[in-house]
């Protein structure tokens, strides 16, 4: 089946530093990938839609300069949290759209803790 | 406006009992409907999906869901719950690989 990986699974960083999270579709090509944020015991909040070779589309209220998204290939999208602060601590999940099955497949998530 | 409602925030069932998780949607066109399951600290796993055709769809882990257009519902069912089914369940509506709208989730607790 369609598999999406995320790396790292957990990251702890100091306030003010930047963190990069990778999302890879392992067995299919994804022209569209999505980045979500999930707060404890809450649903997923879509942050942005990432399209291969073009700029990401950010949801209202999401700072594009803080959450940099790059989708340089059909199997890789990255989310960089710049100048991270404690309020950026969260669970970040990516998904990749498989046009062959018209379905999004989700990565295992990345737990970010900013000290 | 498009929306997905999962009326039950928490559900508790005994192991071996039947389960039904409710999902109602509001969507302008014929929707694609999905159920995902999330274990603590994990990503989302696709249980099943409905695009068209037979309104009763079978998924993994013994789950099934029925699409009822007249009720705008896509309820998830399982005849006999196992302790390992304890997790968070999300209903979503979408259009292909484009943006999904998620419900708020239902947390399932299974009593031994």
Strand, helix or coil for residue B47: strand
φ and ψ at residue A66, rounded to 5 degrees: -90, -40
Question: B97 and A104 in contact by Cβ < 8 A?
Answer: yes
Residues of chain B in contact with residue A104, where contact means CB-CB under 8 angstroms, are: 34, 94, 97, 100
| Per-residue pLDDT in tens (0 to 9) along chain B, 112 residues | 788 999 999 999 999 999 999 999 998 777 899 999 999 888 899 999 999 999 999 999 999 999 999 999 999 999 999 999 999 999 999 876 778 889 999 999 999 9
Which of A6, A43, A46 has its CB closest to that of B105?
Answer: A43
- Measured between CB atoms, does A40 come within 8 Å of chain B? no
Residues 6+ positions from B100 with CB-CB distance below 8 Å: A34, A46, A104, B34, B92, B93, B94
pLDDT recorded at residue B1: 73
pLDDT in tens, A65-111: 999 999 989 999 999 999 999 999 999 999 999 888 888 999 999 99
B-contacting residues of A 68-97, CB under 8 Å?
Answer: 91, 93, 95, 97
Distance of alpha carbon B66 from alpha carbon B58, whole angstroms? 9
Closest CA of chain A from B17, distance in Å: 25
Distance of alpha carbon B101 from alpha carbon B99, whole angstroms? 7
Q: Check whether the bond before A8 is cis (ω within 30° of 0).
A: yes
pLDDT in tens, A21-61: 999 999 999 989 999 999 887 888 999 999 988 899 999 99
pLDDT recorded at residue B58: 97
């Amino acid at each position: 089946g369609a598999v999406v990986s995320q790396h790292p699974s957990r990251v702890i960083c100091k306030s003010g530093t930047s963190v990069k999270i990778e999302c890879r579709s392992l067995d299919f090509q994804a022209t569209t990938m999505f980045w979500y944020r999930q707060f404890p015991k809450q649903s997923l909040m879509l942050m942005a839609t990432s399209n291969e070779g073009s700029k990401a589309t950010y949801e209202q209220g999401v700072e594009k300069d803080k959450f940099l998204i790059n989708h340089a290939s059909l199997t890789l999208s990255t989310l960089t949290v710049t100048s991270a602060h404690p309020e950026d601590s969260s669970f970040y999940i990516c998904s990749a759209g498989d046009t062959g099955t018209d379905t999004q497949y989700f990565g295992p998530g990345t737990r970010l803790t900013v000290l | 406006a498009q929306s997905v409602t999962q009326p039950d925030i928490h559900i508790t069932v005994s192991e071996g009992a039947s389960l039904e998780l409710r999902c109602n949607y509001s969507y302008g066109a014929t929707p694609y409907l999905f159920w995902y399951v999330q274990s603590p600290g994990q990503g989302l796993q696709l249980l099943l999906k409905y695009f068209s055709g037979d309104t009763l769809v079978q998924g993994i882990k013994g789950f099934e869901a029925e699409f009822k257009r007249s009720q705008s519902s896509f309820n998830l069912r399982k005849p006999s719950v196992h302790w390992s089914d304890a997790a968070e369940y999300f209903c979503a509506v979408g259009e292909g690989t484009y943006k999904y709208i998620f419900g708020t989730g239902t947390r399932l607790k299974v009593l031994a």
